[in-house]
């Protein structure tokens, strides 16, 4: 029984690890700026999901106490922190897109090959 | 009034001034300069008196802040670097430059004083955004692309850091820096790899030389002076608590110190040489956790002066009316610039009776005797680098003023820029006398002989440098891949080698 529980939690982590690997692969192999930007977003999403998954390990109930008390509340601490990380990730994406827009005036294809000499 | 509230206000005041300055640029400039002056004076006094105060910001479960020997020197260094840049290059500032710098100051201070992983994460991200804006300030295609590289590399490093943080959280149940002793080694590797990338230590720090050359002078002086210090305080805090981290920091520090110094010697461009030398100096600093912050502070102030005086007054500045078209004024400015350049360079190389000698000696004799050898080797390479830089600066100066002897005029010497530079030189020299007990014959002869042999070493390799093509580490993939490689090295060291 105990072994089974550990196995399920490991299986839940599996897609996130795959997502991180996909993001890293994309970042390393991307030929232009836009692909790199999307790959970074994929890794960002995977990290956020990792936080959410770990917060939910103690239970799935929303951590707000009401009249009725539940036994299985989710951990609010990582959830509160990941909110900041989501906003920061969004800001990073915005800045990177602005730069991509600016660079596209001189290099419409936005290839790394043209930009780094 | 409570001391804690005043200290917190001092840290958050510049960020408010920065945002208000966007609305009223002229009115708030002097308020910003004043706040920097106050924090520099207070942190210097605190440093001299051994001030040590740590408190929790909001009641129980709040943010743990600490003003101690790790944070005070770095706050002092940062404020001095910003003050020097503000006073020397105010004329060249673009519209939102000083506002960004003030926000950067607050972000860096939070980074230095915070003692929990999440505050450090947020402060580092804010620092990264400010640095990004400072690099992109030049608004050329190259600098925009470099800022893109910096942000994408920094963003990835911070994500790696976050993954490490959440893994540590599952084991320790808190985000405090002090609880990391319970964390598994993989989490520690990921956290340290993220911090190393932000502070620009070798392999992770290959963005440093690219950016210093492509950003404007005021940006690169701020970047070299304070942005690279950001990761040093958390790293030195961590390596003081955890012995495995401090042991593997010696491996990373040695790699960084030696390899970056060798790359610096063979570099043909002076700006890139300064960048590689920065990487090498930061590598030396992480060898010893207790004196790292002091060393980085001295290095930052000297680097800021070096970048500000690297280039002579060019004709284009005279044409644009930024400098009066008068040979005598321009000559004296360049002469004092040259003297400052030499003093600051010698300070980093560890010449006696300048501030760099004090910090270098403190750091060197804090290490175990086997590691002192490494510091000596890197001191040799460092002096070779600065002999090279000083020679090339002297050559350029002679070329610019060949067979010109302008008249000496007191009025032309006493302008604002020269006075500030003279004050900086006096400050660098006088601070070395704060630790008078370090002026022993052995230490002085040691550093002098290192300088002498370094000079000879440079003369030996001078011919080779022209034949080697400049190192071609400019690709984005190098910047992206570096944190992974460093994390892997750290993990291998922590689990198997245990050096």
Annotated domain spans of chain A: 32-59+68-107+111-115
- Does A92 score more than 90 pLDDT? yes
The dihedral over CA atoms of B412, B418, B420, B424, expressed in degrees to the nearest 10, equals: -140
- Does A3 score more than 80 pLDDT? no
pLDDT of B345 reads 92
Check CB contact under 8 Å for B145 and A47.
Answer: no
* Residues of chain B with C-beta less than 8 angstroms from the C-beta of A112: 475-476
Q: What number of C-beta contacts closer than 8 Å exist between A and B?
A: 79
What mean pLDDT comes out for the span B458-487? Answer: 74
In this predicted structure, which of A62-76, B191-205, B335-349, B421-435 has the lowest mean pLDDT?
Answer: A62-76
Q: Which domain holds residue B389?
A: 3-497
Query: Which is more confident, B464 or B151?
Result: B151
Which residue, among A95, A97, A108, A110, would best test binding to B if mutated, counting the most B CBs under 10 Å from its CB?
A: A95
pLDDT of B75 reads 93
| Cα B148-B151-B156 angle, rounded to 5 deg | 125
- Write down the ipTM of this complex: 0.93
Most confident range, picked from B39-43, B209-213, B475-479: B39-43
pLDDT of B303 reads 93
pLDDT band at A73 (very low <50, low <70, confident <90, very high): confident
Facing residue for A81 by CB, picked from B118, B158, B481:
B118
Check CB contact under 8 Å for B118 and A78.
Answer: no
State the smallest CA–CA distance between residue B37 and chain A in angstroms.
31
Q: State the residue for tokens 């080779």.
A: B464
pLDDT band at A97 (very low <50, low <70, confident <90, very high): very high
pLDDT of A1 reads 44
Model confidence over B162-181: pLDDT tens digits?
999 999 998 988 888 888 88
Measured from the Cβ of residue A24, the count of other Cβ atoms closer than 10 Å reads 20
Check CB contact under 8 Å for B125 and A88.
Answer: yes
State the smallest CA–CA distance between residue B167 and chain A in angstroms.
9
CA distance B117 to B114: 8
- Does B457 score more than 80 pLDDT? yes
In this predicted structure, which of B414-428, B432-446, B480-494 has the lowest mean pLDDT?
Answer: B480-494
CA A36 from chain centre, in angstroms, equals 15
Domain count, chain B: 1
According to DSSP, residue B204 is labeled G
- Does B99 score more than 70 pLDDT? yes
Residues ≥6 apart with Cβ < 8 Å to B137:
B94, B97, B100, B143, B215, B216, B219
Query: Which is more confident, A66 or B108?
Result: B108
Alpha-carbon Rg for chain A, nearest whole angstrom, is: 19
- Does B255 score more than 80 pLDDT? yes
pLDDT of B350 reads 87
pLDDT of B426 reads 92
- Does B78 score more than 70 pLDDT? yes
Give contacts of B 92-121 with A, CB under 8 A.
118, 121
Residue percentage of chain B with pLDDT more than 90:
33
């Amino acid at each position: 029984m105990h072994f089974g529980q550990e196995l399920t939690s490991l299986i839940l982590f599996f897609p996130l690890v795959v997502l991180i690997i996909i993001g890293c692969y994309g970042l390393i192999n991307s030929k232009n700026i836009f692909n790199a930007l999307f790959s970074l977003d994929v890794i960002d999403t995977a990290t956020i999901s990792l936080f959410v998954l770990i917060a939910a390990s103690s239970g799935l109930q929303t951590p707000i106490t009401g009249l009725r008390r539940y036994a299985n509340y989710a951990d609010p601490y990582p959830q509160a922190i990941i909110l900041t990380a989501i906003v920061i990730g969004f800001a990073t994406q915005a800045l990177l897109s602005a730069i991509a827009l600016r660079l596209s005036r001189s290099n419409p294809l936005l290839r790394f090959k043209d930009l780094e000499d | 009034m409570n001391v804690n509230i005043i200290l917190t206000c001092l840290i958050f005041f510049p960020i408010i001034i920065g945002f208000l300055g966007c609305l009223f640029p002229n009115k708030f400039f002097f308020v910003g300069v004043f706040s920097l002056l106050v924090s520099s004076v207070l942190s210097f006094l605190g440093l001299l008196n051994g001030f040590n105060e740590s408190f929790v910001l909001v009641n129980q479960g709040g943010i743990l802040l600490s003003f101690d020997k790790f944070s005070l020197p770095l706050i002092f260094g940062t404020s001095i670097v910003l003050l020097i840049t503000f006073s020397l290059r105010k004329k060249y500032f673009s519209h939102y430059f000083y506002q960004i710098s003030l926000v950067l100051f607050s972000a860096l201070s939070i980074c230095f004083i915070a003692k929990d992983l999440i505050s450090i994460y947020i402060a580092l991200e804010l620092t990264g955004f400010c640095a990004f804006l400072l690099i992109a300030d030049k608004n050329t295609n190259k600098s925009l692309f470099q800022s893109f590289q910096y942000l994408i590399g920094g963003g990835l490093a911070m994500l790696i850091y976050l993954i490490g943080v959440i893994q540590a959280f599952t084991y320790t149940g808190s985000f405090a820096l002090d609880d990391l002793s319970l964390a598994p080694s993989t989490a520690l590797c990921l956290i340290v790899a993220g911090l190393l990338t932000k502070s620009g230590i070798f392999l992770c720090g290959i963005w440093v030389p690219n950016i210093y050359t492509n950003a404007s002078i005021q940006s690169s002086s701020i970047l070299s002076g304070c942005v690279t210090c950001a990761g040093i305080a958390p790293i030195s805090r961590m390596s003081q608590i955890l012995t495995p981290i401090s042991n593997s920091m010696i491996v990373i520090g040695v790699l960084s110190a030696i390899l970056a110094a060798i790359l610096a010697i063979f570099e043909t461009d002076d700006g890139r040489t300064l960048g590689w030398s920065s990487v090498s100096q930061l590598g030396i600093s992480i060898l010893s956790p207790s004196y790292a912050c002091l060393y980085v502070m001295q290095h930052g102030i000297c680097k800021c002066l070096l970048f500000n005086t690297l280039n002579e007054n060019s004709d284009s500045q005279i044409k644009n009316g930024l400098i009066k078209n008068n040979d005598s004024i321009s000559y004296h400015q360049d002469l004092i610039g040259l003297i400052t350049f030499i003093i600051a360079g010698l300070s980093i190389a560890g010449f006696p009776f300048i501030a760099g000698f004090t910090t270098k000696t403190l750091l060197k004799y804090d290490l175990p005797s086997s590691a002192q050898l490494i510091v000596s080797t890197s001191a040799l390479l460092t002096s070779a680098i600065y002999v090279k830089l000083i020679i090339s600066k002297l050559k350029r100066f002679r070329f610019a003023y060949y067979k010109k002897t302008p008249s000496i005029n007191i009025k032309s010497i006493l302008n604002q820029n020269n006075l500030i530079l003279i004050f900086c030189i006096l400050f660098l020299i006088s601070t070395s006398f704060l630790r008078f007990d370090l002026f022993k014959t052995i230490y002085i002869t040691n550093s002098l002989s290192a300088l002498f042999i370094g000079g000879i070493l440079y003369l030996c390799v001078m011919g080779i440098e022209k034949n080697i093509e400049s190192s071609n580490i400019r690709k984005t993939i190098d910047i992206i891949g570096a944190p992974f490689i460093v994390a892997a090295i750290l993990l291998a060291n922590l689990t198997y080698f245990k050096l």
